[in-house]
């Protein structure tokens, strides 16, 4: 019997109730790289990034994240999202560097457009969003975290927009996301120097809201979510939208130009060379 047929069984429907069936259905249709557990009672979805070894964001993974966000946004029972990782050492290693090294232009273009979509979808989400950062979170990982409304991070990891250390540039919407959280001066320092901050350093500048131990990170996120969901959705959503729409509209207006800049920049010989060195060092370090 297929899952579709199974969900139609009157006995199962009677036993589990409509809400639970909907939640089960949405869970079973997700990709194995993005694990979703939507609690029909609370309306909170825990979304675990699950692309070993380090949740680096390649084109397919980004598409899966986008599809998951779309499904949750279309599910009226869903009110909150907790974003975390199935790897308890790495929340997300940022963009998959291999997407940017010796790329095919078509795929590189598609990759960047998909990342723009993920950013707009998560940053502008109608849901209350909390990042439960249970591991390192460089660059694109930090971007995902700063898209969320609240950040809880496990102690003794690192987070930051370290692009300049790779010889690349954090795009304006990465910078805007961070600026919205920590303000202009801290963003300027962090982005120009490509700082990877420890959890404690990040907490000092307000990049993370709470520092916790690994055992409690999810529970803390669930507890925090309760307080967000006490606020009427329409009031919270309109307030959020009022604050985030200017940045979203800024990217919308410059989308094509941003793709063009990215492709032109990444395909420069000097940038390819810098990426090549960075990958070599990363692989050497991984072998040790």
Considering only residues 91 through 150, tell me which ones interact with ligand LKXGUNVN, judged by CB under 6 A: 93-98, 136, 138-140
Q: What is the DSSP string of 128-164?
A: EEEEEE-SBEETHHHHHHHHSSEEEEETT-EEE--GG
In angstroms, give the least distance from the CB of 192 to ligand LKXGUNVN: 14
In angstroms, give the least distance from the CB of 140 to ligand LKXGUNVN: 3
What is the layout of strands, in order, in the sheet containing 137-138?
137-138, 158-160, 197-198
Considering only residues 43 through 72, tell me which ones interact with ligand LKXGUNVN, judged by CB under 6 A: 53-54, 56
In angstroms, give the least distance from the CB of 96 to ligand LKXGUNVN: 4
Considering only residues 163 through 222, tell me which ones interact with ligand LKXGUNVN, judged by CB under 6 A: 163, 166, 168-169, 171
Tokens (6 digits) for 124:
């502008």
Detail the DSSP E strand segments found in 7-155.
34-39, 44-49, 80-85, 128-133, 137-138, 150-154
Concerning whether 67 is annotated as a catalytic residue, the answer is: no
Would you tell me how many other CB atoms lie within 10 Å of the CB of residue 54?
A: 20
Considering only residues 73 through 92, tell me which ones interact with ligand LKXGUNVN, judged by CB under 6 A: 89-90
* Nearer to ligand LKXGUNVN (CB atom), residue 30 or residue 162: 162
Q: Is 162 in the site for ligand LKXGUNVN (CB under 6 A)?
A: yes
What would the x/- binding string for ligand LKXGUNVN be over residues 239 to 278, using CB under 6 A? ----------------------xx--xx------------
Concerning whether 162 is annotated as a catalytic residue, the answer is: yes
Residues 6+ apart with CB under 8 A from 20: 40
- The span from the CA of 119 to the CA of 113, in Å, is 10
By the 8 A CB rule, do 170 and 164 touch? yes
Q: What is the DSSP string of 198-227?
A: EHHHHHHTTSSSEEE-GGGHHHHHHHHHHH
The set of catalytic residues is 95, 140, 162-163
| Residue numbers at the binding site for ligand LKXGUNVN (CB under 6 A) | 53-54, 56, 89-90, 93-98, 136, 138-140, 162-163, 166, 168-169, 171, 261-262, 265-266, 282-283, 285-286
């Amino acid at each position: 019997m297929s899952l579709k047929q199974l969900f139609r069984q009157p006995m199962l429907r009677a036993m589990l109730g409509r809400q639970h069936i909907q939640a089960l259905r949405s869970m079973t249709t997700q990709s194995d790289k993005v694990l979703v557990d939507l609690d029909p009672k609370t309306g909170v979805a825990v979304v675990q990034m699950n692309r070993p070894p380090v949740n680096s964001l390649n084109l397919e993974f980004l598409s899966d994240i986008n599809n998951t966000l779309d499904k949750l946004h279309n599910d009226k029972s869903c009110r909150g999202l907790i974003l975390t990782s199935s790897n308890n050492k790495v929340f997300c290693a940022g963009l998959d560097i291999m997407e940017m090294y010796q790329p095919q232009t078509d795929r590189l273009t598609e990759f960047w457009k998909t990342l723009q979509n993920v950013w707009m979808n998560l940053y502008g989400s109608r849901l209350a969003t909390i990042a439960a950062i249970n591991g390192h979170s460089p660059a694109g990982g930090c971007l995902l975290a700063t898209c969320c409304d609240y950040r809880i991070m496990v102690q003794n990891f690192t987070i930051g927009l370290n692009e300049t250390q790779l010889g690349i540039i954090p795009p304006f919407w990465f910078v805007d996301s961070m600026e919205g959280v920590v303000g202009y001066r801290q963003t300027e320092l962090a982005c120009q120097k490509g700082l990877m901050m420890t959890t404690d350093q990040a907490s000092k500048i307000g990049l993370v809201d709470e520092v916790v131990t690994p055992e409690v990170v999810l529970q803390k996120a669930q507890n925090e979510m309760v307080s967000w969901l006490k606020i009427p959705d329409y009031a919270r959503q309109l307030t959020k939208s009022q604050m985030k729409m200017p940045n979203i509209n800024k990217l919308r207006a410059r989308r094509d130009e941003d793709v063009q800049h990215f492709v032109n920049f990444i395909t420069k010989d000097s940038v390819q060379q810098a990426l090549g060195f960075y990958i070599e060092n990363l692989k050497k370090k991984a072998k040790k």
